[in-house]
Chains A and B, each alone.
Chain A
Amino acid sequence: MPNPAKNWREIPQRYRLEAGTCKNCGHVSFPPRLVCPRCGGREFAPHTLAGAGELVTYTVIRVAPGSFEDQAPYAVGIAALEDGVKLTAQVVDCDFSALKVGMRVRLEFRRVSEEGPAGVINYGYKFVPV
């Protein structure tokens, strides 16, 4: 049975990078939360993540989970974005040998997964080298 709700709910984050800034301490939470993890604050202002940053780490996944098997090997990384938030995503359009800590990347809209050839396509963000 298709289960579209779980992914549909994440659209504001996956399509538009909508985050929340704690009004009390300024910490940015992505995804937005009800409680600030730094100060326990309960009020937030909307914030859109910066679209570029630098890799702080990366790897190439060669043994993939079932739904990602056809994509293997693929690179994933964590980047520190220009607004200080660290984000995890695949790194594409990049030779594996070019991956390094400090590499500048920006975010691009891509297909991330699909629930089979007849299921919903899940779109989201991936890193591409700048």
Chain B
Amino acid sequence: MAGIVGYGAYIPRNRIKVEEIAKVWGADAPSYKKGLMLEEKSVPSPDQDTITMAVEASKNALKRAGIDPREIGAIYVGSESHPYAVKPSGATLGEALGAAPEFHTADLEFACKAGTEGMFIALNLVRSGAVTYGLGVGADTSQGAPGDALEYSAAAGAAAFIFGRDRLLADVLHTYSYTTDTPDFWRREHQYYPLHGGRFTGDPAYFKHVTGAGRGILALAGLKPADFAYVVFHQPNGKFPLRAGELLGFTRRQVEPGWLAPKLGNTYSGASPLGLTATLDVAKAGDLILVVSYGSGAGSDAFVLRVTPRIDEVRDAAPRTRDMLDKNLNYLEYGVYAKYRRKIRKAE
């Protein structure tokens, strides 16, 4: 049986409110807030990126795992904002953790799903016996084009999971992936901002794959929504995961611990992984947790987890997700936010 030995989160402390963005673009803030169920989003400082956040989240995971980093045999960072197009984030992460040089790494990309892919691959390398411990990380500092709807939600954060075979805090009982070619949101090589299909990103994209994966894994596992303590969905805004829950038959209470988007925004590859870390922060031994991610392009990865008693021993070994979400915040004006996000054109 393989599962999670350690988990960790990292969220930058800067925030910008929906009103602040709307003011600059002459948009109606209340409509965005209500329509998307978003209030504010996290913003990385200029000295933070996918790699720095992955390092801090992974260090938090190591604190809970209590293992020697040299025993990590594989590292996968999933992101759509890797700092380099060619030079893997996983190599820097491995060096920073002290896992180098005996490990395998490759960077992953699949819009917002790349984090759970890293988790899927790390888990299966452990299951197959190829490695003792595998690390899967979802981290992003994605951009939304200025004035576009996605600017209100594109945020920054990271979550890391170390998989192993013993001393698990959560068993992974089942996995299931559902993938099609669906062009709802994409970014071509050398383009700075992504493009998307507007309302096409809803039913034919997010909902089709999330419910497809959700139903698929429930059937595979022979389980019903009521069997679960909690469910975590990909959260591009506050509204979509609540509706996904309704469609699949989950209650609001089951969704809530992992529902971070209204105060966090969409951390892309970190979105459902951070929902999971926030849920693990409150889960008890025996709880079943369902995770369904979503990445445009399109696909969903689903996991069924069962929490073990070890969660109580390690939960407080590292900072809790909600503490990073709610405390010690620094609110930015749009000008500083635009400077931080390199949206201002400077001299060559």
The interface of chain A, by Cβ under 8 A from chain B, is 11, 15-16, 70-71, 90, 92-93, 108-112, 121, 123, 126
Contact = CB atoms under 8 A, between A and B. Distances in A.
Nearest to B69: A16
Nearest to B98: A16
Contact of A121 (B59, B83, B330): B83
Nearest to B344: A70
Interface string B32-60: 00000000000001111101100110010
15 contacts: A15-B92, A15-B96, A16-B95, A16-B96, A92-B45, A92-B47, A93-B45, A93-B328, A109-B52, A109-B96, A111-B47, A111-B48, A121-B51, A123-B51, A123-B96
A71 B339 CA distance: 10
Contacts of B339: 70
Contacts of B47: 71, 90, 92, 110-112, 126
Interface residues of B, number: 21
Contacts of B346: 70
Given A70-B339, A92-B47, 15 more contacts: A11-B95, A15-B95, A16-B96, A16-B98, A70-B46, A70-B346, A71-B46, A90-B47, A93-B13, A93-B328, A110-B45, A110-B48, A111-B49, A123-B51, A123-B96
B75 to A, nearest CB: 14
A6 B330 CA distance: 35
Interface of B: 13, 45-49, 51-52, 55-56, 59, 83-84, 92, 95-96, 98, 328, 330, 339, 346
A66 to B, nearest CB: 13
Given A93-B45, A93-B330, A110 B52 contact: yes
B92 A123 contact: yes
Contacts of B48: 110-111
A111 B13 contact: no
Nearest to A108: B56
A111 B47 CA distance: 5
